[in-house]
Amino acid sequence: MSNPYQTSYDEVPYESWPFPQTHPDRLATLATLFGMTPAPVARCRVLELGCASGGNLIPMAQTLPESHFVGIDLSARQIADGQAIQQTLGLTNIELRQLSITEVNPDLGEFDYIISHGVYSWVPDAVQEQMLAICERQLAPDGVAYISYNTYPGWRMRGMIRDMMQYHAHMFEPPQRVPQARGLLDFLAQSVPTENNPYGILLKQELEMLRRQPDSYLFHEHLEDVNEPLYFHQFVERAAAHRLQYLGEADFSIMLASNFAPQVAETLRRVAPDIIRMEQYMDFLRNRTFRQTLLVHADRTLRRDLNYQHLNGLLVASPAKPVTELPDLTGPTQERFQAPNGAMLHSANPITKTAMALLAECWPQALPFTELRAAARGRLQPLHIQDAAGVAQDTQLLGMELLQCYTVGIIELRTGQPPFTLTVSDRPLACPLARWQAQRGPRVTNRRHEPTDLNEFSRYLLPLLDGEHDRDALLQALEQLAANGVLVIEQHGKRVAPAEARKLLAEALDHALPLLARSALLLD
């Protein structure tokens, strides 16, 4: 008898890309902040339940060669695809197995990190229980498990749309179900009024989100037979039955009541005496649809009172940039630093302003907190000479402001530095996985475990960056691609002559290489 889950993912494979929030470093960082001593990420064991074709696990294995990775998935097609990539890259520290979650037994071993993204809500109750049982049985004593799932109340509206699409699409054969579902979405978007109509407004918001999703997401998220959201407190109760406790969310910024208006935060603190009730009430306020929850063993003692000393031993990175072109770093002027997510730091503290400027200069690399503190003080001297008490005060203020930045996504905290370089060498070398991916499409995985989209020029350049080509050789290879019509060189909408093409290619090359470095795609 065929397995419906296996068949559906074989027929419509899920797009397999990295999920930065599942990386062991993210899990280790949060565990460290909450007082645990997780396994060093450079030497750990990782299990992924529902690994698809390894798009999340294979980049980890390449970046962390001394760690060991095991991925299981029910789809034979996806496992075969992943094993082919593994073989091409020559990776020996990863195992991809076609295996049901219900078939996982203790023989598979113990793991420091267990991750499962986009599985829990889409499998029957018995499989959900087995996932938690695996975490209880095979998670190391100081291990961290990551499980994502759909949540109420936000999935009430989304579930209604799913019901509509299922009702309509299941009248058709599987190949036609996704286009039919999209047709229904368009019909609803055009037909339901939004003016003075709360239903229409909510419906339009959900429909716009779904329109942007790929076919594989629409098929498996909304057209599968099983998709069972639950409330956060229900998930925690199920985990507790397996002697697992709530550590936090992979996205730390959503855990804090302080991110609400002061009167809202005060009410939350009054009605929610513990972290579980607090998180549940915040879900009510945010209308959350999805959670990425971290679990640890129930006997672990957790520290919830974060302070700046917790930054010792961690690395700091930030994409935030000063809003003003020439910020006053040494004086008392309040300066603003804005992150790509829109979050803003306002600070008049010289050491904090200087530290943020340093982080902007070295992004996307990270600096150890102690090194960042010392470098900021070094730039301020002799303009900012202090005694020991002043230094301690500055350190405390810097740490407190950085922690506040972390809560809103202005900075990143890490336990280690991903292996990449910002320096463009004479013979640039790009990540092997990214070079392989670029030959198949414009999306690649960088060394920060992020999917990265390339423009057309960089897509053809990246496979050439094998550490053997100098600048002249790269230009020659690019010219050949242009001559063969693979790489089209145009100016003002017209093809250019060969002599002019070389000049444009040289300019594009000199522009692209630093950008690839800043995208964490180049190696030493």
* 93 plus 202 within the same structural domain: no
Question: Residue 388: which pLDDT band, with cuts at 50, 70 and 90?
Answer: low
Distance from chain centroid for Cα 95: 22
Domain that holds residue 165: 155-222
Q: Report the share of the chain in percent with pLDDT over 90.
A: 67
**Average pLDDT, stretch 302-328?**
92
Question: Quick check: is 21 in a domain?
Answer: yes
Question: Is the pLDDT confidence value at 357 over 90?
Answer: yes
The pLDDT value recorded for residue 2 is 45
Give Cα separations from 94 to 87, 97, 363 (angstroms).
Answer: 10, 10, 30
- Interior/surface letters 11-44, b for 16+ CB within 10 angstroms, e for the rest: ebbbebbbbebbbbbbbbbbbbbbebebbebeeb
The pLDDT value recorded for residue 7 is 47
Mean pLDDT value across the chain: 90
Distance from chain centroid for Cα 125: 27
* 76 plus 175 within the same structural domain: no
In contact, 96 and 30? CB cutoff 8 Å: no
Question: Quick check: is 281 in a domain?
Answer: no
| Final residue in a domain of this structure, among 382, 414, 446 | 414
Instruction: Tell me which of 240 and 13 has the higher pLDDT.
Output: 240
Question: Residue 390: which pLDDT band, with cuts at 50, 70 and 90?
Answer: low
Question: Residue 308: which pLDDT band, with cuts at 50, 70 and 90?
Answer: confident
Question: Is the pLDDT confidence value at 134 over 90?
Answer: yes
Task: Tell me which of 258-267, 292-301, 356-365 is least confident.
Answer: 258-267
* 112 plus 247 within the same structural domain: yes
Question: Residue 164: which pLDDT band, with cuts at 50, 70 and 90?
Answer: confident
pTM for the model stands at 0.89
Question: Residue 202: which pLDDT band, with cuts at 50, 70 and 90?
Answer: confident
In contact, 339 and 358? CB cutoff 8 Å: no
Which residues are CB-contacts of 233 (< 8 A; sequence separation ≥ 6)?
276, 277, 280
Give the Cα separation of 91 and 106 in Å (integer). Answer: 25
Question: Is the pLDDT confidence value at 4 over 60?
Answer: no
* 94 plus 187 within the same structural domain: no
Question: Residue 172: which pLDDT band, with cuts at 50, 70 and 90?
Answer: confident
* 145 plus 13 within the same structural domain: yes
Q: Report the share of the chain in percent with pLDDT over 70.
A: 94
∠ CA(189), CA(192), CA(193), 5° rounding? 115
**Average pLDDT, stretch 439-453?**
96
Question: Quick check: is 245 in a domain?
Answer: yes
**Average pLDDT, stretch 161-189?**
80
Question: Is the pLDDT confidence value at 5 over 70?
Answer: no
Task: Tell me which of 390-404, 460-474, 490-504 is least confident.
Answer: 490-504
End-to-end Cα distance, the chain: 52
Of 128, 321, 340, 81, the closest CA to residue 229 belongs to 128
* 316 plus 240 within the same structural domain: no
Question: Quick check: is 274 in a domain?
Answer: no
Residue entry with tokens 């499980």: 147
Question: Is the pLDDT confidence value at 222 over 80?
Answer: no
In contact, 145 and 139? CB cutoff 8 Å: yes
Give the Cα separation of 305 and 310 in Å (integer). Answer: 10
**Average pLDDT, stretch 330-356?**
94
| Final residue in a domain of this structure, among 264, 297, 330 | 297
* 82 plus 29 within the same structural domain: yes
Phi, psi of 245 (to 5 degrees): -120, 160
Q: Which two tokens stand for residue 376?
A: 């900021």
| Final residue in a domain of this structure, among 203, 222, 241 | 222
Instruction: Tell me which of 463 and 170 has the higher pLDDT.
Output: 463
Q: What is the pLDDT of residues 56-75, one digit of tens each?
A: 999 999 999 999 999 999 99
Give Cα separations from 79 to 57, 116, 134, 140, 147 (angstroms).
Answer: 12, 16, 21, 26, 21
Instruction: Tell me which of 180 and 517 has the higher pLDDT.
Output: 517
Give the Cα separation of 380 and 458 in Å (integer). Answer: 39
Question: Quick check: is 37 in a domain?
Answer: yes
* 346 plus 468 within the same structural domain: no
Of 158, 155, 152, the closest CA to residue 207 belongs to 158
Question: Is the pLDDT confidence value at 262 over 90?
Answer: no
Kindly report the CATH number assigned to the domain that includes residue 34. 3.40.50.150
* 324 plus 391 within the same structural domain: yes
Task: Name the strand (E) or helix (H) holding 236.
Answer: helix 232-240
* 321 plus 242 within the same structural domain: no
**Average pLDDT, stretch 268-277?**
90
Instruction: Tell me which of 187 and 11 has the higher pLDDT.
Output: 187
Total domains present in the chain:
4
Question: Quick check: is 302 in a domain?
Answer: no
Pairing outcome for strands 111-116 and 45-49:
parallel
Please write down the long-range contacts of 228-231, taking CB distance under 8 Å and 24 or more positions apart.
228/121, 228/125, 228/150, 229/121, 229/149, 229/150, 229/151, 229/152, 229/155, 229/159, 229/289, 230/121, 230/149, 230/150, 230/151, 230/152, 231/151, 231/152, 231/153, 231/280, 231/283
